Amino acid sequence: MSATLTTPTTVRRYHVRTFGCQMNEHDSERMRGMLESLGYSPADEPEDADLILFNTCSIRESADSRLIAHLGHAKRMKRERPDVVVGVGGCWAQSVKDEVFERFPFVDVAFGPGQINRLAEFLTSDSLSAQGYFEFEGFPAHLPTKRDRDHQAWVQIAVGCNLKCSYCIVPSTRGRESSRPFEQLLDEVRALAADGVREVTLLGQNVNAYGRDLRTVEPLPAELLPYAEAAKRPTGLPSSSGPTAPSGPGVPSAEGRPAADASGPQARPSTVRPRPRTFAELLLAVADVDGIERVRYTSPHPKDIREDVVAVHATRPEVCQHIHLPLQAGSSRILKRMRRTYDRERYLDRVRMIRERCPDIALTTDIIVGFPGETEEDFVETLEVVDEVGFDGAFTFVFSPRRGTEAATFTDDLVPHPVKVERMERLVELVQRRAHERTQRFVGRTLDVLVEGPSRHDPDRLRGRTSHNKVVNFTGLGEPGETVAVEITSATSQSLQGEMTLLSRLGVA
Ligand code: 5AD
Ligand code: SF4
């Protein structure tokens, strides 16, 4: 099927619909930026657009079925207006690449995740006949981005994933892990800060594996030396560390700068071999960029969450008090079948390590219910871990087999649907109860809240977020992007309520 774009003299309009994760949200921002730089303007409804794009997800079956319903709608529009260009990008497109034009002949262009530059190539080419772009080419940097919020931005630090979780389609849709160069990322963050961004979220399938594939070797910054030394000791702790937070020569001070005597004996360059940059170093460097007030990231893998990253959380106020640490299951037997490479004890040990250094940090997680072979005992182990950790929130998923994954070939002991539903109800009830209990710790405290805009429920109030990633609805004054002090008056499992302290806006509090 082919289509032609309306003449360049008329304003061409685009509509992008996004499914899936934050990576896809970010890819969509980059699509919008690219399209606007090509002269397109946004259309709220697909009916008003000359170009309809679907940025797709394949992680669960439910996303597939929703997408197919939307594609049916696009097909009808294409029948009425044959000039409309229909594009399908992202993970689902990648996963059905061989069949996409066969199954959906009204699609004009299809491309894999992150291949936004290929979309630009297609749109500016002479022939708009069906074209597909599915090579993994790393991350095309230097594309314009149109952000939803002026003060918040995503920065993709790596693409792809080298792990082989048996349920996950991502390694086949996003390819092998590839980290973006350290300096390129810092330049991007500096440019964002200069453009008004106050909060960045670093994105990757396994963010804490950042840098392992980079070939460049660099000397370690002085502030991380104690952790490099510590890695050689059985305790994993810097020798100068106290019970909850590191201190002493070379450790980031409360202001985040290396202590004055950072060039002490531990900092002798000759004692430290040059090696690639790590995720902890990237966090520090991003936190150091002028104008950046908050740094978040998603998601780390529990097997790779180390002391150096947790130390950065403990010592740098810019690095948020929140870690999303996907558990997936609480039974070691199921974790093994999932090929998660950690067991229940190791996960709990990582949580203890995090909480020792950052007792107030918010922990959230992902959990899959009804994985093939999950018995009642296995599921009870998941409940036990959820109870013991006390997550501040959790995304819970019913297992769905994805094509090409190992778990899709497991045919023994499949969990019947009604059992999955019943387990999910029990899990959600516990997650919410524990989250509700956890959030009570904020009541009566005054927290820094980054304003996002009006509250969704009451336009007379404001909505913002704490460093713990908790949404706060509050009465007060403030512009999006401004940080204000809010006294928390009540808390549910999902959100906090509060009143802005008046002195906050005067800059006194
Ligand atoms: N079935 C159900 N949930 C899944 N996830 C990933 N693959 C599947 C699947 N096949 C969940 C995991 C992951 C989150 C993004 O989606 O919990 O962390
Ligand atoms: Fe994101 Fe995974 Fe869905 Fe791809 S498949 S959009 S990486 S959640």
> Ligand 2 pocket check: which of 173, 368, 400, 405 to mutate, most ligand atoms within 8 Å of Cβ?
173
CATH number at residue 493: 2.40.50.140
Q: Looking at the CA of 58, which ligand is closest?
A: 2
Check whether residue 414 and residue 377 sit in a common domain: yes
Question: Could you give the 3-state DSSP secondary structure of residue 286?
Answer: helix
Which residues, 6 or more positions from 384, have their beta carbon under 8 angstroms from its beta carbon?
Answer: 330
Pocket of ligand 2 (CB under 6 A): 20-21, 23-24, 57-59, 90-91, 113, 169-170, 173-174
CATH number at residue 212: 3.30.750.210
Distance from the alpha carbon of residue 411 to the mean position of ligand 1, in angstroms: 18
Question: Is 198 within 8 Å of 152 (Cβ atoms)?
Answer: yes
Which residues, 6 or more positions from 63, have their beta carbon under 8 angstroms from its beta carbon?
Answer: 19, 20, 56, 57, 92
Pocket of ligand 1 (CB under 6 A): 59-60, 167-168, 326, 328, 366, 368, 397, 399-400, 402
Distance from the alpha carbon of residue 280 to the mean position of ligand 1, in angstroms: 26
Q: From CA 395, how far away is CA 328, in angstroms rounded? A: 10
Question: Could you give the 3-state DSSP secondary structure of residue 485?
Answer: strand
Residues forming a β-bridge with 90: 56
Q: Looking at the CA of 368, which ligand is closest?
A: 1
Check whether residue 26 and residue 118 sit in a common domain: yes
Distance from the alpha carbon of residue 405 to the mean position of ligand 1, in angstroms: 12
Question: Could you give the 3-state DSSP secondary structure of residue 36?
Answer: helix
Is the previous residue joined to 299 through a cis bond, with omega within 30 degrees of 0?
yes
Instruction: Identify the residue whose C-alpha is closest to ligand 1 atom 7.
Output: 168
Distance from the alpha carbon of residue 230 to the mean position of ligand 2, in angstroms: 35
Phi, psi of 484 (to 5 degrees): -125, 160
Angle at 181 between CA 177 and CA 182, to 5 degrees: 115
Q: Which of 422, 441, 460 is the last residue of a domain?
A: 441
Distance from the alpha carbon of residue 315 to the mean position of ligand 1, in angstroms: 32
Q: Answer yes or no: pTM beyond 0.85.
A: no
The strand ranges marked E within 168-293 are 178-179, 199-203
**What per-residue confidence (pLDDT) applies to 379?**
98
Of residues 244, 239, 238, the one with CA closest to residue 280: 238
Q: Which of 419, 441, 463 is the last residue of a domain?
A: 441
Ligand 1 atom closest to the Cα of residue 407 is 10
Phi, psi of 450 (to 5 degrees): -85, 115
Q: Looking at the CA of 395, which ligand is closest?
A: 1
Q: Which of 101, 133, 165 is the last residue of a domain?
A: 133
Check whether residue 104 and residue 167 sit in a common domain: no
Distance from the alpha carbon of residue 497 to the mean position of ligand 2, in angstroms: 32
The structure tokens 């997800």 sit at 57
Check whether residue 120 and residue 55 sit in a common domain: yes
Residue 1: inside a domain = no
Residue 474: inside a domain = yes
- Cα–Cα distances (Å) from 314 to 245, 389, 478, 498, in that order, read 6, 19, 28, 26
Q: Looking at the CA of 204, which ligand is closest?
A: 2
Distance from the alpha carbon of residue 340 to the mean position of ligand 1, in angstroms: 12
Q: Dig out the tokens for 197 from the structure.
A: 């961004």
Residue 3: inside a domain = no
Question: Is 280 within 8 Å of 251 (Cβ atoms)?
Answer: no
The strand ranges marked E within 161-215 are 178-179, 199-203
**What per-residue confidence (pLDDT) applies to 263?**
37
CATH number at residue 350: 3.30.750.200
Instruction: Identify the residue whose C-alpha is closest to ligand 1 atom 16.
Output: 59
Q: From CA 382, how far away is CA 328, in angstroms rounded? A: 9
Residue 268: inside a domain = no
CATH number at residue 92: 3.40.50.12160
Q: From CA 388, how far away is CA 379, in angstroms rounded? A: 14
Check whether residue 22 and residue 111 sit in a common domain: yes
Instruction: Identify the residue whose C-alpha is closest to ligand 1 atom 17.
Output: 366
Check whether residue 374 and residue 409 sit in a common domain: yes
Check whether residue 316 and residue 199 sit in a common domain: yes
Check whether residue 305 and residue 372 sit in a common domain: no
> Ligand 1 pocket check: which of 397, 403, 410, 423 to mutate, most ligand atoms within 8 Å of Cβ?
397
Residue 266: inside a domain = no
Q: Looking at the CA of 402, which ligand is closest?
A: 1
Burial of 186 from C-beta contacts in 10 A (0-12 / 13-18 / 19+): middle
> Ligand 2 pocket check: which of 16, 54, 58, 94 to mutate, most ligand atoms within 8 Å of Cβ?
58
Q: From CA 18, how far away is CA 35, in angstroms rounded? A: 15
Distance from the alpha carbon of residue 59 to the mean position of ligand 1, in angstroms: 6
Ligand 1 atom closest to the Cα of residue 400 is 1
Check whether residue 213 and residue 124 sit in a common domain: no
Q: Looking at the CA of 174, which ligand is closest?
A: 2
Find the domain containing 464 and state its range: 443-505
Check whether residue 350 and residue 433 sit in a common domain: yes
Check whether residue 54 and residue 198 sit in a common domain: no
Phi, psi of 171 (to 5 degrees): -55, -30
Instruction: Identify the residue whose C-alpha is closest to ligand 2 atom 3.
Output: 57
Query: Could you give the number of structural domains in the chain?
Result: 4
- The two counts, helices (H) then strands (E), for the chain are 15, 19
Distance from the alpha carbon of residue 54 to the mean position of ligand 2, in angstroms: 13
Residue 74: inside a domain = yes
Q: From CA 20, how far away is CA 57, in angstroms rounded? A: 5
- pLDDT by 10s per residue, the chain, length 509: 444 444 444 679 999 999 988 888 988 998 998 888 888 999 999 999 999 999 998 888 777 888 888 999 999 999 999 999 999 998 888 888 878 888 899 999 998 887 777 787 788 776 656 677 766 666 666 666 777 789 999 999 998 888 999 999 888 777 888 999 998 999 999 999 999 999 999 999 899 999 988 866 666 666 666 656 655 554 444 444 333 333 333 333 333 333 333 333 344 444 455 577 899 999 999 999 999 999 999 989 999 899 999 999 999 999 999 999 999 999 999 999 999 999 999 999 999 999 999 999 999 999 999 999 999 999 999 999 999 999 999 999 999 898 889 999 999 899 999 999 999 999 999 999 999 999 999 999 999 999 999 998 898 999 999 999 999 999 999 999 999 999 999 999 989 999 998 766 555 54
Residue 216: inside a domain = yes
Q: Looking at the CA of 415, which ligand is closest?
A: 1
Distance from the alpha carbon of residue 368 to the mean position of ligand 1, in angstroms: 6
Instruction: Identify the residue whose C-alpha is closest to ligand 2 atom 1.
Output: 21
Question: Is 185 within 8 Å of 157 (Cβ atoms)?
Answer: yes
What distance lies between CA 148 and its chain's CA centroid? 16
Q: From CA 308, how far away is CA 314, in angstroms rounded? A: 10
Residues forming a β-bridge with 438: none
Check whether residue 186 and residue 307 sit in a common domain: yes
Instruction: Identify the residue whose C-alpha is closest to ligand 2 atom 5.
Output: 59
Q: From CA 96, how far away is CA 28, in angstroms rounded? A: 20
Helix pair angle (376-389, 417-439), 10° resolution: 10
Instruction: Identify the residue whose C-alpha is closest to ligand 2 atom 6.
Output: 57
Instruction: Identify the residue whose C-alpha is closest to ligand 1 atom 12.
Output: 366
Residue 89: inside a domain = yes
Ligand 2 atom closest to the Cα of residue 92 is 5
